Amino acid sequence: MEKSQNGAETLLGRVTDLGKQCLNVESAQKFAAWYIDNSEKVSNGVLDYQANATEWAGATPLGVMFKAQLDFSRTLVKRSADIARKICQVESH
């Protein structure tokens, strides 16, 4: 009976150690930085696609509106990512 109790304690100790490794501030900050960086890249990729998709309107009155919308969106993505980095206290990679 004592042998199985020691085994359970050892298993519990290993799970606790794993939890400490995964659930700490440094790991959370690394994950936050990764998530913010990738979200910003995906958002900019979508905006690049939008710019290509609306290229046809460049010489029309709609072109000015599309360009203004694109510029505003790029600024919004950049500022949002910067604010998220400040809140999470992380740097861009």
Sign of torsion over alpha carbons 47, 52, 54, 59: positive
List of residues 6+ apart from 14 with CB closer than 8 A: none
pTM above 0.75, yes or no: no
For residue 3, is pLDDT > 70? no
User: How buried is residue 36: exposed, middle or buried, by Cβ count under 10 Å (0-12/13-18/19+)?
Assistant: buried
pLDDT averaged over the chain?
88
- pLDDT 10s digits, 33-64: 999 999 999 999 999 999 999 999 999 999 99
Q: Which residue has the higher pLDDT, 17 or 81?
A: 81
The amino acid occupying position 49 is: Y
